[in-house]
Amino acid sequence: MEFYGFSKKFINILKLLYKKTVVQINVNGVLTDKFEIKRGVKQGCPLSAALYIMAISPLLNRIKSDKNILGVKYLNDYVKISAYADDIAVFIKNQEEWQIIQEHFKFYEEVSGAKLNTNKTEGIWMGEKDHPQIEIELKEEVKILGLIIKRNNCNDFNWDKKSQEIKNELGRWKIANYKTRINIIKSFILPKLNFLATIFPPKESLIISLNKLCVRFIWGNNREVTKRDLLFKNKALGGLGALDLGLKLKVTYCKMVAQALKREAVWIGEKNAGTGNLVKGFQTKSADS
């Protein structure tokens, strides 16, 4: 932390926060006895995540700046590594690059005390040529941040899986009140879809299917008593305030594209070339919501 410019006083305060940390667990409203955390961090601790990012950054920057690692070319740039907290994905082209990656991890292990868990490390070979001989398990598909990555049809595969999950979730609720059902979609269904929508934009056919599923859930066995436009319209405008799931997912994806443009993400390309294609099909008429 001194390398990043933090004062010794601030560092000592952080050390004090982590010294002999004592917690209690709430089990159905009953607190357990206090016990000391000797490994890991407190659940939901926001500070620990930030500290971990600082600790892992030297490894990421070292790999990213290594000119002997080309990674995968995309548009006019190269992608070598992607990380979200401790979930790290490395992109290599051959056996030589794998050996270099191993050297970086070994060096980081020596200076940090951290250790790569090879039992939980998986890989997937995307090329047509024979894959290199590496010491991790190669699979037909891998899970990264909860999403399944495979050689093709990633979009359809993940959305089909998520759609079935949504159907099962809606089937659990037997509440008769349509107002409560509207809130269930907002509180329990939308959060399950938001992250997926930022990675794989849903196709129009799937959006229509999801909206139909939600509308049937809202009305149950009853026929629709209002037009769809009125169902999705804001209550202040005389509507029922239901969530237009398809429109919401489109907005979620477009926000992600806007953020990527702002930070000049690799996949956007030089001078935002081809960005129009990213939002093609996601343009929609303004909705009263």
With CA atoms as reference, report the closest residue to 149 among 130, 126, 173, 116.
126
pLDDT at residue 231, as a whole number? 84
The partner residues of 26 in beta bridges, in order of sequence, read 31
Average pLDDT over residues 158-178: 87
> Model pTM?
0.73
pLDDT at residue 269, as a whole number? 56
Candidate from 79-83, 129-133, 157-161 with smallest mean pLDDT: 129-133
Candidate from 76-80, 205-209, 280-284 with smallest mean pLDDT: 280-284
Average pLDDT over residues 237-253: 85
pLDDT at residue 59, as a whole number? 92
* Mean pLDDT, rounded, of the chain: 82
Using only C-alpha atoms, what is the Rg of the chain?
24
The alpha carbon of residue 266 and the mean position of all alpha carbons in its chain are separated, in whole angstroms, by 17
Phi, psi angle pair for 80, to nearest 5°: -110, -35
Candidate from 134-138, 203-207, 249-253 with smallest mean pLDDT: 134-138
pLDDT at residue 103, as a whole number? 93
Collapsing DSSP to helix, strand or coil, 136 comes out as coil
pLDDT at residue 276, as a whole number? 47
Rounded CA gap, 101 and 106, in Å? 9
**Could you report the per-residue pLDDT of 261-278, keeping only the tens digit for each?**
887 777 765 544 444 454
**Could you report the per-residue pLDDT of 169-202, keeping only the tens digit for each?**
888 887 778 888 889 888 888 888 989 988 888 8
